[in-house]
A and B are shown apart, each in its own frame.
Chain A
Amino acid sequence: MSATRAALPPKEQLDEPGGRPVDRRGGSTLLRHLAVVLAAGLLLVAVSYSVEPFRNFQLATVAAYLCATAGLTVLTGLNGQLSLGHGALMATGAYTVALCQTAFADRGMTGGWLLPLSLGAAIVSTVAVGAVVGVAAARLRGPYLAGVTLAVAVVVPALAVTFDGVFNGEQGLSVPVEPPPLSLGPYFPYERWQLWVTGAATLLALLLLANLIRSRYGRTFRAVRDDEVAARLAGIHVARTQVLAFVVSAATAGLGGALLAVLAQSVSPGAFSLTLSLFLLMAVVIGGLGRLTGALWGAVLLVALPDLTHSVTEMLTLSPAVAQRLEGNLPLAIFGLTLIVVMIAAPGGVQGLLSRLGRALLARRPTRRS
């Protein structure tokens, strides 16, 4: 059934007001995506001027995580492959950026083009790692894939320690990053610059992902997810599709990790633990699996969580003995509980909930008109 579905235009495309099917060719899709990205970019710049530096930094972190969650949602949501090891892919990108930036700094090289170069290198190295894992992953299904990716996630600290001459063990590396260019003025807030850099990289990545999803490749991703046998009968090379999905996902995860390293100006295995991998997965599912908007909600959640957690405990005035026990734990308990309740009450995640709401509102309009 998926093969037929893949061949047809997406259903919603026909649901234009008035029921006129609209012809959409690749070109116009690209243009529309470009417009959305440009608008988002402008909005981001505007926001970066209107909020405090800390919010700028938080937004920059959201952008970095968004890269990773968007890639993961493409892999898991659209292609049906479960990965518990995206933290390790992020680490690959992060360490690459750290090594590149350090190498540049050691050689006394400066210039605005160095950072994009390092980020590019990060993507390339993660793609290489992702291809290797992807080839193995294409043979595996469900929990077996989960098992292998879990092992990949756990291997990061081990590698960092084993090759501590390069990666400096559990302590990690620092990432030298140049200050904002002087042309922006001498007092340009560093956090705003960070938001610009990560925002630009992330929007670019999202643009590419959005186009990919709408393209023939995106359709084959979904076809393979829905029914491998049918996809194979429809002439889709299943294994190749799965490896491609993994590689794409790895590339964005690598970029996300690299951006995170640039933001933190340091890399260490502790920042890319198994917990991160699991949180990424939770984020995309809670946000709404298989949708880039869901990935956005997930990324927001990843950043807002520690912040929220702190506010929760600060709101309460407790005796020191009680506070000491609740501090840190109470927010996690609340988060865990929320996770369970949301998954039971709204399995489509935040975006699923919003879509349902939106549909309910939209559903009224045409009837009124006709």
Chain B
Amino acid sequence: MKLAYYPGCSGEGTSKEYDVSTRAICEALGFTLTDIDDWSCCGSTPGHSLDHALSGALSARNLALASTMEADCVVTPCPSCLSNLKHAKHRMEDPAFKAKVDELLDEPTPALPEPYSVLQVIVEKLSMEEIAAKVKKPLKGLKVACYYGCLMVRPPKVMQFDDYENPMSLDNLLVALGAEVVPFPLKTECCGASLGVVDKEVTSKLSGRILERAKQFGANCVVSACPLCQMNLDLRQSQAEEAMGQKFELPIFYYTQLLGLALGLDDSALMMNKLVVSPHALLKSLDAPAEAVAPEAKAEPKAEDKSDEGAAS
């Protein structure tokens, strides 16, 4: 499957490891990514907070570029970018809004393609059985809290992905990879990322609560699909620890890193060392037992998959 890829600005900076691992796993799973040529910033939260038409124009430029490519669909790893792109696409269905956006652009927009998240494409195009069958190194020993954040599923009418109160796509994926998924009631709670820079107080408290609850339910790491969430929970974990008065020491993985790990990709593709809260001790603890069962690893995840799914449902 050919995908037009919108990496998003953070992929060039704070979430380089997300960008790199996304590219790697897509290749491993048989998706061909082609970057949208000369893509520009979607405007992020500041864009739509100031003006919908401005945000719409910034997103529309990129979707218009993508529409000229020969691809099955347009994807981005970043939920924040996705939210902007999708909102632009949906709002542009109103001719009055489209006119406003067109006024800001060099030329009127063509019919825009519908953008999707890389995650949605993976979980909807591949069955969990197919993914489990590709696992080389089951993530046994990882107790994961799946954190989806607010943008991935909300507002449901626009995002059209998964259950907006209790999404399960990451849970199912991680179970297929052989990890243990802990119950986690704060899956879609907001971490406060959009105020990260300007209001440390708000952000640390909201992030702190998420980390605290993950720890309570026995997680030894958190998995995220959002660069903003990941940065907040990882880079700012010390601030959250300060605010909550306790230590968490929870590595915050991108799901793409764990997927890559399970598929047996090189660390150069995973960039685990980019994570601020070091995952190395945790990952090391996995290695020993994993190697011991390696010969049967292929058959095992399936059986485990089943029992875990039963427990989760």
Do A and B actually bind?
A: no
